[in-house]
Structure 1
């Protein structure tokens, strides 16, 4: 049998960076009989180029080795191709891996890749841009942009920059006038924070901010209620780390598609923690089973 060709797209800023740990990953995959190659990248352009090259050489598996941002960037190039995504969760939060029940231990994650059991999972899409976890507009993208500016210009740590960005947002407290079109209905709301999840997020109980399924074929939309600036900054900060709170703070809707219109023609939109500027209206849809992902095989 011909060996499977595996390309690992590694985020060089995750984990230990370009250290022997990356060579260990390549060696462990090779020990499983896979023809493995690690491609280290440092930004989105590098990820796109590496995945496109892997597809051109007909790799049987492309692996994202990093956090949620790396996973999302790799997945966006694989959606609809039929080439499966593997995940080595060596980032900080790893929400996508956790929600799929993937092991966070590196050796166990490599065993999953070697087993080769793939399933189809849903991805979200807005104006042609995909996301595997969530997207949002309003307060959250502002906080992300401010956080990254502080990390870049003031060289602050991630969490210090996050706290300061939340405080800045509290002082400004921007509120959006949005119109949401869903299932033939139009809803007009004032909200500083709109969150769209790929499938349903838990918003109460002990499983806060997690999903039990990525295969229900639905987007979940949460409109934060206009209940005061500090409360909503708290909600935005919790969403940044994937921990949405009680349902009373939100108006929640589930659907396969939404159209969101604001008074602005160009909107800052967060997609899995990265911010893009998109043209309104924002047309969200679910791409059911649009991505093949390797997961642990079912128990015998």
Structure 2
């Protein structure tokens, strides 16, 4: 993951997800540390997830850099979707629950250190995945996981806490277990069919054993990592789906392979698809591809090449 210093710009724009518990702490660090470096920094706080992409587009039009996503992986996804393929760098402030992308890039989990990295870091070029034109920086899924997310969000809207909503969503899926008949095609001569509860597509390969389980050692290998589960009983299938999506299982017993492009025919004209934890409905077939080194990210100086 080659690195270069950020180029001069009109100053940074930090887009902060207002639902994060760390917003006020982040604002204080940004004001103080940007003052230390004499850099003009705009801070925008929004509680509407739909606004994040448009705010990133506005910052792009104003020639600001870096454009910073302060929140979880969904916030990072929304900003990265506007920056992928361009020359403006993405900054990341890990203010969510899991912060998978920030950790894999090497951005400090400590918020003060993460803010300082925006002004002292170097530019690294990393891959992004794409499905039907939509970017993902971590992973995308079909089947179990998108339906789990929708059920969890429904329970949260009913007033349940996140842990309670998680358990209620899981119980609902255990009761309504289903499998999809998916045809996977990498080219005209390489076609397979799977009767599976889920399809998982990672932007580069996830570690499946050891202390680094659930992380990626490379973000610039130019490969998608694809997993499906063989047809099995309800409890085992749901358990396998949860473990792999939470990064707590190895890929033994799973159908796993790497590719740079994939077409998925799910057997229905439209299907729910997750991208970095956000769910949308897409037309079939699904076209997955890797976009090598398409995203510029502010990474710490001295971070080993990915």
Q: Which residue of 1 aligns with 2:152?
A: 147
Q: Pick from 252, 256, 278 the counterpart of residue 252 of structure 1.
A: 256
- Match status 1:65 vs 2:70: yes
Q: Pick from 22, 37, 62 the counterpart of residue 32 of structure 1.
A: 37
SS in 1 for 2:216: coil
Q: Which residue of 2 aligns with 1:276?
A: 280
The separation in 1 between residues aligned to 2:280 and 2:31, in whole angstroms, is 33
8 A Cα contact 1:3 1:34, kept in partner: no
The separation in 2 between residues aligned to 1:23 and 1:220, in whole angstroms, is 39
8 A Cα contact 1:179 1:188, kept in partner: yes
- How far apart are residue 156 of structure 1 and its match? 1.2
Q: What pairs with 1:81-230 in structure 2 (closer than 5 Å)?
A: 81-153=86-158, 155-183=159-187, 184-230=189-235
Which sections of structure 2, spanning at least 5 residues, go unmatched? 1-6
User: Aligned pairs, how many?
Assistant: 297
- Match status 1:243 vs 2:262: no
1:93-129 deviation per Cα after TM superposition (whole angstroms, max 9, x unaligned)? 1100111121111121122111241011000000000
8 A Cα contact 1:26 1:37, kept in partner: no
The separation in 1 between residues aligned to 2:258 and 2:175, in whole angstroms, is 32
8 A Cα contact 1:69 1:273, kept in partner: yes
SS in 1 for 2:50: helix
Q: Which residue of 2 aligns with 1:12?
A: 18
Deviation larger for 229-238 or 86-95: 229-238
Structure 1 length as normaliser, TM-score? 0.94
SS in 2 for 1:258: strand
The separation in 1 between residues aligned to 2:21 and 2:36, in whole angstroms, is 22
SS in 2 for 1:249: coil
Distance 1:2 1:267, change over 3 A: closer
Q: Which residue of 2 aligns with 1:285?
A: 289
8 A Cα contact 1:123 1:131, kept in partner: yes
Distance 1:80 1:105, change over 3 A: same
Question: What is the RMSD of the two structures over their aligned residues, measured on CA atoms?
Answer: 1.8
SS in 2 for 1:205: coil
1:13-50 deviation per Cα after TM superposition (whole angstroms, max 9, x unaligned)? 01244x36424423322322211011111233210121
1:253-284 deviation per Cα after TM superposition (whole angstroms, max 9, x unaligned)? 10101100011010000110010000000000
Structure 2 length as normaliser, TM-score? 0.92
